[in-house]
């Protein structure tokens, strides 16, 4: 790879990539960071809050169009206007008006690892010194250097934003809102569970999920079949139950959080969960946003027994509350019986 051929001028661990990163940073300015230091990105007090707000809106389930509209409505300078008017750089870039926020600009920000504190380089290059045609490299050829600067978003929130954006771009032939995408996992092989559309032909007239690996090679796993309406009900009740738990034990939890803080424990996560519960007062229906905000995954086990004796176990893995206090209530077990 040609970056290896460029030797880094300074003594550093990143060898070739380092020089390349420096070259790239000189020419690129990321919204949210100060442009005056070419070698280290430092949060810009003017624009870092804008970036944080964009991520917060993405995590709460707003799509790119609504995020762009919110920024326009509040008169926030778009990146090109900010660069040109405030920083006096890239003046040749054109923009319609000061608040010309495009959906693509929002999407580029939400997908950019630079806000996690990492630097990704070698995404594209020209064919040769003479031929300036841009070619894009496949993702596995990107050069990523971790923790090169301060992050503006936490990894957990970044991941949730990616998942929600992905789901929003997904369509299926039944126009069915497959809200559990990326949430359901097989207890035995760890694959995702994928949706099965109703079909009277196979005797399954319901929307349902089953293990993806099983569906590809039936000898490697078992069905882990679960009906959509059943899992919907269980997961909704599971989240409601956690909300109740927090609301009814507020004082007890506050005391526990204080004790945890005294011994240097992770109080931050418990506070994040408090905020989440407060934000969604009474949840009566599930959306992809609610699922991804509350849950990392739901592990579905193979059902046991037949008909009225049929039981199936599942474990809901919540975000933020891996704490011992919650651990006691972490496993949500509901026997389901089918006729
Ligand atoms: Zn499986």
Tens digit of pLDDT for each residue in 4-60? 323 334 444 444 444 444 444 433 567 888 866 656 778 889 899 999 999 998 887
Beta-carbon contacts of residue 218 (< 8 Å; ≥ 6 apart): none
More confident call, 43 vs 199: 43
- Tens-digit pLDDT profile for residues 249-299: 888 888 888 888 888 888 888 888 888 888 888 899 998 889 988 998 999
Question: Residue 109 Cα, ligand 1 centroid: separation in angstroms?
Answer: 35
The pLDDT value given to residue 18: 47
Q: Give the DSSP letter string of 97-161.
A: STT---HHHHHHHHH-GGGGT-EEE-SEEESSSS---EEEPPGGG-EEESS-S--SS-HHHHHHH
Q: CA 169, CA 64: separation in Å to the nearest integer?
A: 11
pLDDT(74) > 70: yes
Q: CA 44, CA 33: separation in Å to the nearest integer?
A: 5
- Tens-digit pLDDT profile for residues 84-104: 888 887 777 777 788 889 888
- For residues 38-74, one letter each, b for 16 or more C-beta atoms within 10 angstroms of the residue's C-beta and e for the rest, the string is eeebebbeebbebbbebbebbbbbbbbeebbebbbee
> Per-residue confidence at 127, pLDDT binned at 50, 70, 90?
low
Instruction: Using alpha carbons, select from 60, 111, 71 the residue that is nearest to residue 287.
Output: 60
CB-CB contact of 186 with 211 (8 Å)? yes
pLDDT(2) > 60: no
Question: Residue 331 Cα, ligand 1 centroid: separation in angstroms?
Answer: 20
Q: CA 121, CA 18: separation in Å to the nearest integer?
A: 10
The pLDDT value given to residue 85: 86
Q: CA 266, CA 260: separation in Å to the nearest integer?
A: 7
Question: Residue 187 Cα, ligand 1 centroid: separation in angstroms?
Answer: 7
Mean pLDDT of 194-209: 78
Question: Residue 223 Cα, ligand 1 centroid: separation in angstroms?
Answer: 7
The pLDDT value given to residue 324: 67
Give first-to-last CA distance, the chain, whole Å: 61
Separation in Å, CA 281 to CA 44, 76, 167, 193, 243 = 34, 30, 24, 29, 8
How many other C-beta atoms are found inside a 10 Å radius of the C-beta of residue 175?
6
Question: Residue 237 Cα, ligand 1 centroid: separation in angstroms?
Answer: 24
Question: Residue 183 Cα, ligand 1 centroid: separation in angstroms?
Answer: 14
Helix axes 228-248, 267-279, angle to 10 degrees: 110
Q: Domains (ranges, CATH) in the chain?
A: 2-162 (3.90.1750.20), 172-334 (no CATH)
The model's pTM is 0.64
Question: Residue 90 Cα, ligand 1 centroid: separation in angstroms?
Answer: 52
The pLDDT value given to residue 7: 35
Q: Work out whether strand 119-121 and strand 143-145 pair parallel, antiparallel, or are unpaired.
A: antiparallel
Mean pLDDT of 312-337: 67
Question: Residue 255 Cα, ligand 1 centroid: separation in angstroms?
Answer: 41
Among 119-123, 196-200, 256-260, 306-310, which stretch is predicted with the lowest mean pLDDT?
119-123
> Per-residue confidence at 168, pLDDT binned at 50, 70, 90?
low
Question: Residue 215 Cα, ligand 1 centroid: separation in angstroms?
Answer: 9
Per the listing, tokens 């929307």 go with 207
Mean pLDDT of 175-188: 86
More confident call, 303 vs 181: 303
Question: Residue 195 Cα, ligand 1 centroid: separation in angstroms?
Answer: 14
Question: Residue 204 Cα, ligand 1 centroid: separation in angstroms?
Answer: 19
pLDDT(331) > 80: no
> What is the side-by-side strand order in the sheet with 184-186?
184-186, 295-300, 312-318, 333-334
H or E element at residue 2: none
Question: Residue 313 Cα, ligand 1 centroid: separation in angstroms?
Answer: 14
Question: Residue 228 Cα, ligand 1 centroid: separation in angstroms?
Answer: 17
Mean pLDDT of 299-328: 82
CB-CB contact of 87 with 35 (8 Å)? yes
Question: Residue 292 Cα, ligand 1 centroid: separation in angstroms?
Answer: 21
CB-CB contact of 242 with 329 (8 Å)? yes
Question: Residue 262 Cα, ligand 1 centroid: separation in angstroms?
Answer: 42
More confident call, 115 vs 168: 115
pLDDT(339) > 50: no
CB-CB contact of 337 with 307 (8 Å)? yes
Instruction: Using alpha carbons, select from 303, 308, 317, 332 the residue that is nearest to residue 226.
Output: 303
């Amino acid at each position: 790879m040609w970056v290896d051929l460029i030797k880094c001028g300074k003594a550093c661990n990143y060898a070739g990539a380092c020089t390349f990163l420096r070259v790239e940073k000189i020419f690129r300015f990321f919204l949210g960071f100060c442009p005056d230091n070419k070698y280290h990105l430092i949060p810009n007090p003017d624009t870092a809050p804008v970036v944080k707000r964009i991520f917060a809106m993405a995590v709460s389930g707003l799509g790119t169009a609504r995020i762009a509209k919110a920024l326009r409505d509040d008169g926030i300078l778009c990146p090109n206007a900010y660069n040109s008017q405030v920083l006096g750089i890239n003046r040749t870039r054109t923009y319609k008006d000061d608040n010309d926020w495009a959906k693509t600009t929002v999407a580029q920000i939400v997908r950019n690892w630079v806000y996690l504190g990492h630097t990704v380089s070698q995404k594209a290059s020209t064919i040769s010194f003479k031929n300036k045609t841009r070619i894009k490299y496949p993702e596995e050829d990107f050069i990523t250097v971790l923790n090169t600067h301060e992050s503006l978003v936490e990894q957990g929130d970044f991941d949730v934003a990616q998942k929600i954006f992905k789901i929003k771009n997904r369509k299926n032939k039944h126009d069915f809102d497959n809200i559990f995408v990326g949430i359901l996992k097989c207890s035995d092989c760890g694959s995702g569970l994928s949706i099965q559309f109703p079909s009277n032909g196979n005797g399954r007239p319901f929307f349902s999920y089953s293990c993806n690996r099983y569906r590809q090679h039936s000898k490697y796993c078992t069905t882990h079949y679960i009906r959509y309406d059943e899992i919907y009900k269980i997961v909704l009740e599971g989240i409601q139950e956690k909300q109740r738990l927090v609301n009814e034990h507020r004082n007890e939890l506050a005391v526990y959080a204080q004790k945890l803080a005294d011994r240097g424990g992770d109080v931050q996560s418990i506070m994040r969960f408090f905020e989440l519960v407060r934000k969604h007062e009474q949840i009566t229906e599930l959306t992809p946003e609610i699922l991804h905000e509350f849950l990392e995954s739901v592990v579905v086990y193979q059902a046991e027994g037949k008909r009225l004796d049929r039981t199936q176990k599942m474990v809901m893995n919540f975000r933020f509350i891996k704490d011992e206090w919650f651990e006691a209530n972490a496993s949500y077990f509901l026997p389901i019986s089918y006729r």
